[in-house]
C-alpha cells in the first residue's frame, strides 16, 4: 500500500468515526503523502470563519491536531495516538470564504512512546499564515493490527 493511500484511509476513518472532523473539516483533501510528510488543503467555507469573516483560529488549531495525526499515519500507524501538546502561531489572516489554505506537516521524531510533528500553513500566494506543532503519545497505537510501519519503512 502506498503512503498516500494509507494516510487517506486513516483520514476516512476519522471522517467515519469522529465527532469533530466530519463536521468541521469534511472537505479537507490529502493531496500528497510520503513517509514522514503529508500535504493537505482546505477550501475555506463559512463554517470555517469567525465573526470577522476570516478563517477562524480554531479551524487552524483543529487542522494542526488532525495534521499531526496524519503525519503519524504517514509513518505507518493507523491508530495515531493521543495529544500531549499542541501549539499554534498565527502569522497572517488565513483567508476568507472562497480562498484555499494549504498545509505541509512533518513527523520529525517518531518513537515508541512519542511522535513530534510540525506544520506550516500557506495561502494561495505562498505566504505563511500559521505554523504549529503537535506531540502525540503513541505507545498504545503500536498495537493496532492495521498498522503498516514495516511496509512504510521499506519505502524510504
Residue 155 has pLDDT above 90, yes or no: no
pLDDT band (50, 70, 90) for residue 156: low
- 81-131 pLDDT, tens digit per residue, is 999 999 999 999 999 999 999 999 999 999 999 999 999 999 999 999 999
Domains along the chain? 3-151 (3.10.129.10)
H helices present in 25-134, as ranges? 57-73
**pTM (2 decimals)?**
0.95
Q: Note whether 44 and 97 are within 8 A (CB).
A: yes
17-23: long-range pairs with CB below 8 Å, 24+: 20/62, 21/62, 21/66
Q: Nearest CA to 7 among 126, 140, 148?
A: 148
Residue 1 has pLDDT above 90, yes or no: no
Task: Give the residue-averaged pLDDT of 6-28.
Answer: 95
- 20-35 pLDDT, tens digit per residue, is 998 999 999 999 999 9
- 50-80 pLDDT, tens digit per residue, is 999 999 999 999 999 999 999 999 999 999 9
Q: What angle (nearest 5°) sits at the alpha carbon of residue 37, between those of residues 32 and 43? A: 50
Q: Which helix (H) or strand (E) holds 85?
A: strand 82-90
Residue 14 has pLDDT above 80, yes or no: yes
Amino acid at each position: 500500500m502506498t503512503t498516500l493511500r494509507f494516510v487517506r484511509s486513516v483520514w476516512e476513518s476519522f471522517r467515519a468515526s469522529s465527532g469533530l472532523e466530519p463536521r468541521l473539516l469534511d472537505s479537507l483533501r490529502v493531496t500528497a503523502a510520503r513517509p514522514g510528510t503529508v500535504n493537505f488543503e482546505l477550501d475555506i467555507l463559512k463554517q470555517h470563519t469567525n465573526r470577522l469573516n476570516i478563517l477562524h483560529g480554531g479551524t487552524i488549531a483543529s487542522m494542526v491536531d488532525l495534521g499531526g495525526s496524519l503525519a503519524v499515519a504517514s509513518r505507518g500507524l493507523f491508530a495515531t495516538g493521543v495529544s500531549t501538546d499542541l501549539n499554534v502561531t498565527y502569522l497572517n489572516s488565513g483567508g476568507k470564504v472562497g480562498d484555499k489554505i494549504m498545509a505541509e506537516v512533518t513527523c520529525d521524531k517518531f518513537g515508541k512512546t512519542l511522535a513530534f510533528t510540525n506544520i506550516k500553513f500557506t495561502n494561495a500566494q505562498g505566504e505563511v499564515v500559521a505554523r504549529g506543532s503537535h506531540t502525540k503519545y503513541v505507545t498504545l497505537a503500536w498495537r493496532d493490527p492495521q498498522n503498516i510501519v514495516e511496509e512504510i519503512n521499506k519505502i524510504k
